[in-house]
Amino acid sequence: MHPVLIFRHSPTEGPGYFTTFLDRHGIPWKLVRIDAGDAVPDNLNGISGVCLMGGPMSANDDLPWIPPVLALIRQAVSSDIPVIGHCLGGQLMAKALGGSVSANPVKEIGWGDVRITDTDAARPWLGDTRAPMRVFHWHGETFSLPPGATRILDSAFCANQAYVLNDRHIGMQCHVEMTPELIVSWCDNGAAEIAANNGPGVQSPGDIQADLSARTAQLHRLADKIYSRWIQGLRKQS
């Protein structure tokens, strides 16, 4: 199989559990380190899927790599190459496909429940459950739904937590790729941001890191469902 192309936009926001999942399923992957100056490919020849990770920047920032990434997302969708976006990645997808990115009413930092908003559209990705699911959040902005997309998740503080498009693309505002190591690192690097924000959607580093092994194990079970559906659409090598 051709590799999955993974975009890392910040050295602290790597693919985490996503590559653990790919490795377990024998799916090759290639990392594009935007933060290290790697060039954005101008085509998707030899690529089976595209994954976009998070980052502290905005999809609206005037950064030289954003326009070519948006163009590559549009190229992938038009070619039926599956795209998956985590947080900033979901925002970049939305922006590329005709949606917009703007400030969320409040910041969400820490653990919080997401709820299914469209049972039929969510079923292939999440199974038959209708119960709220605990995920990880770290964002101050959010996306609108791009044309043709269906929202499948929301939360108490963010109306658009995940959307699907054409049964093979998914953009998420939340993080399902987190590992204990990533969470500890984010709490260390983001301590000042947490201290400066005491809104209803922001948790303390101590609360975030409580019961970390059990929480991330539960998160990975949810990620397994989403990722398992996503890899079904990967382009097979010809």
DSSP state letters, the chain: -PPEEEEE-STTS--THHHHHHHHTT--EEEEEGGGTPPPPS--TT-SEEEE---SS-TTS--TTHHHHHHHHHHHHHTT--EEEETHHHHHHHHHTT--EEEEEEEEEEEEEEEES-HHHHHHHHTT--S-EEEEEEEEEEEPPPTT-EEEEEESS-S-SEEEETTTEEEESSB----HHHHHHHHHHTHHHHHT--STTB--HHHHTTTHHHHHHHHHHHHHHHHHHHHTTPPPP-
Whether 237 maps to a domain, the answer reads no
At 35, list the tokens: 């933060």
Question: What is the number of domains present in the chain?
Answer: 1
Whether 236 maps to a domain, the answer reads no
- Main-chain dihedrals φ then ψ at residue 6, nearest 5 degrees: -115, 125
Whether 174 maps to a domain, the answer reads yes
> Tell me, what's the pLDDT at 42?
92
Whether 182 maps to a domain, the answer reads yes
* CATH number assigned to the domain comprising residue 110: 3.40.50.880
Whether 9 maps to a domain, the answer reads yes
> Tell me, what's the pLDDT at 237?
59
pTM above 0.75, yes or no: yes
* Terminal alpha carbon distance of the chain: 9
Quick: pLDDT tens for 156-176: 999 999 999 999 999 999 999
Residues carrying an active site annotation: 87, 175, 177
State which residues form the domain around 101.
Answer: 4-231
Whether 238 maps to a domain, the answer reads no
At 130, list the tokens: 């209708």
Whether 188 maps to a domain, the answer reads yes
> Tell me, what's the pLDDT at 236?
76
> Tell me, what's the pLDDT at 130?
86
> Tell me, what's the pLDDT at 41?
96
Which ranges of the chain have pLDDT less than 50? none
> Tell me, what's the pLDDT at 235?
77
